[in-house]
Amino acid sequence: MAGTLAGAKTKTGRARAPEVPRRPAAGRGPEAFARYERTRTSIMVGSAVRAARRRAGVSQTELAERAGTSQPSIARLEKGLVSPTVITLDRIARALGTDLVIDFEPQPGARRSGQSSPVGARR
C-alpha cells in the first residue's frame, strides 16, 4: 500500500487532495493537537486504502468480502472516519494482493539518531 495518496476527482477529472484538517492554534492545548493528529492520520490511511483498492480495480463491496468485513466498514475507513488496526490493514492489503509496508521517514529538520546531545547538555 505504499505510494501516493489519492483523493476524489474534481469535475474536470483532476485529482483532489484529501481534506486534512488544519493544525490547531498553539493556544488550543494538547487535547486539540492530539485530536488533529488522529484525524490527519486516519484520513491519510483511508486515502491510501482507497488508492490501493482503485489500483486493484475492485469495488468496496468486493474488497469487504475478500477482507472479511462489511462494505460500510470499508467506506468509513476510506473516508478517514475510523482508525484501523495494523491487523485490519494487513487483511485489506492481502485481500488486494499487496503487501502492507510500514516505514518511518525523518521529518524535515528533525534530529537523526546518533546526533544526540552530550550527556548533561541542554537542548
- Is 8 part of a structural domain of the chain? no
For residue 72, the domain's CATH number is: 1.10.260.40
- Is 104 part of a structural domain of the chain? no
DSSP category for residue 12: T
- Is 6 part of a structural domain of the chain? no
| Residue 49 predicted with pLDDT over 70 | yes
- Is 59 part of a structural domain of the chain? yes
Least confident interval from 13-22, 30-39, 50-59, 105-114? 13-22
Position 39 scores a pLDDT of 85
Assess contact for 86 and 102: CB atoms under 8 A. yes
One-character DSSP codes across 26-91: GGG-HHHHHHHHHHHHHHHHHHHHHHHHHHHT--HHHHHHHHTS-HHHHHHHHHT-S---HHHHHH
| Residue 114 predicted with pLDDT over 90 | no
Digit-coded pLDDT (tens) for 68-111 = 999 999 999 999 999 999 999 999 999 999 999 999 999 888 77
DSSP category for residue 108: T
- Is 118 part of a structural domain of the chain? no
Range of the domain at 67: 30-95
Report the domain count for the chain.
Answer: 1
- Is 74 part of a structural domain of the chain? yes
Residue 1's H or E segment, with its range, is: none
- Is 4 part of a structural domain of the chain? no
- Is 60 part of a structural domain of the chain? yes
